[in-house]
């Protein structure tokens, strides 16, 4: 069997990297020559988690073909969110918690998708099903992924399974769940030293909707005003991204992790779909979205319905 690369989506977040590390480790325990890799460098939140548990960030890869390897995908399935030559790859497995779209393979594969808040919650189940013990540092990065994806259980995507998994993993990792979780989330809100382009690329995904391409970026903060003090520069960068990358509509979701509200900044067209999706009016290209924290559950489905309704 050839080498197997395990990776999450582009612009990797803590779950994309954490689930890749954990799932690759499980595969190695099962006799597979697997390596966790990444499609980008870890953000500050993820690096905080890696450092805390003594883990090294996976190496970054840009092409499957140059690696001559089979692949397993975690935390994504849509091809436009994956490695550039994913259509040429032999996909052996997918473990994910997102919608299934724009995905096809020539051969049968293992596919595990569950409607939970985090891919790492599913990976923990797989360890148990295979009777493989979770090492302390792996438990730590999986815990970090769940905290990140659920915003310490505040996200509407969070399920009781995620909470139970996080508590179990916190015990295995020997950390206090609440204090560690809040410290990790705050580590990811250091935005002042990042350029507008870097902010827009921290956690961004593209989605085909009807005949349009919609880019949705999300930034977590403890101060919305700090981010929107840079509104004009952010808007200019979004317009430039639309022109360069061919996006029709670019949405920046800025989320306050302390009170679980978000503010939306919009660039591009059709803007009326944003108004329809969230039942808001755009004022100065912005709209306040109370209680909205999840791109997966509170943004993308609503936009998809507006575009395809």
Q: What residues are designated binding site for Mn(2+)?
A: 9, 13, 15, 75, 97, 149
Under a CB-based contact definition with an 8 Å cutoff, are residues 144 and 183 in contact?
no
d(CA 238, CA 263): 16
Burial class of residue 22 in the structure, from the number of CB atoms within 10 Å of its CB (0-12 exposed, 13-18 middle, 19+ buried): buried
Binding region: 9, 13, 15, 75, 97, 149
Torsion sign (Cα): 41, 42, 47, 49: negative
Phi, psi angles (nearest 5°) of residue 267: -140, 135
Which SS3 state, helix, strand or coil, does residue 131 take? coil
The four Cα atoms 145, 147, 149, 152 give a dihedral, to 10 degrees, of: 180
Is residue 120 classed as helix, strand or coil in its secondary structure? helix
Which string of DSSP letters, residue by residue, matches 171-230?
Answer: HHHT--HHHHHHHHHHHTT--TTS-HHHHHHSSEEEEEETTEEEEEEEEEES-HHHHHTT
Rounded to 5 degrees, φ, ψ at 111 are -130, 120
How far apart CA 284 and CA 287 sit, in angstroms, is 8
CA distances (Å), origin 150, targets 93, 155, 237: 24, 5, 28
């Amino acid at each position: 069997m050839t080498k197997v690369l395990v990776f999450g989506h582009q612009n990797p977040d803590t779950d994309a990297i954490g689930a890749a590390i954990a799932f690759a480790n499980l595969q190695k325990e099962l006799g597979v020559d697997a390596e966790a890799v990444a499609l980008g460098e870890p953000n500050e939140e993820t690096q905080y988690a890696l450092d805390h548990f003594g883990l090294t960030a996976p190496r970054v890869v840009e092409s499957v073909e140059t690696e001559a390897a089979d692949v397993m995908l975690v935390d994504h399935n849509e091809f436009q969110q994956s490695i550039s030559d994913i259509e040429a790859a032999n996909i052996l497995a997918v473990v994910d918690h997102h919608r299934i779209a724009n995905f096809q393979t020539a051969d049968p594969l293992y596919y595990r998708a569950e409607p939970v808040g985090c891919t790492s919650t599913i990976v923990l189940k797989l360890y148990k099903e295979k009777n493989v013990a979770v090492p302390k540092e792996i438990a730590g990065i999986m815990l970090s992924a769940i905290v990140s994806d659920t915003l310490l259980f505040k996200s509407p995507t969070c399920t009781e399974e995620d909470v139970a998994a996080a508590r179990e993993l916190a015990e295995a990792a020997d950390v206090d769940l609440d204090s560690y979780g809040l410290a990790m989330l705050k580590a990811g809100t250091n935005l002042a030293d990042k350029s507008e382009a870097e902010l827009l690329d921290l956690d961004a995904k593209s989605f085909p909707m009807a005949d349009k391409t919609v880019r949705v970026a999300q930034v977590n903060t403890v101060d919305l005003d700090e981010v929107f003090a840079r509104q004009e520069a952010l808007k200019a960068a979004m317009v430039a991204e639309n022109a360069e990358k061919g996006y029709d509509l670019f949405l920046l979701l800025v989320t306050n992790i302390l009170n679980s509200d978000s503010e939306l900044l919009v660039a591009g067209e059709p803007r009326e779909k944003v108004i329809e999706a969230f039942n808001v009016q755009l004022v100065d290209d912005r709209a306040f979205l109370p209680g909205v924290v999840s791109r997966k559950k509170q943004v993308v489905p609503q936009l998809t319905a507006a575009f395809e309704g």
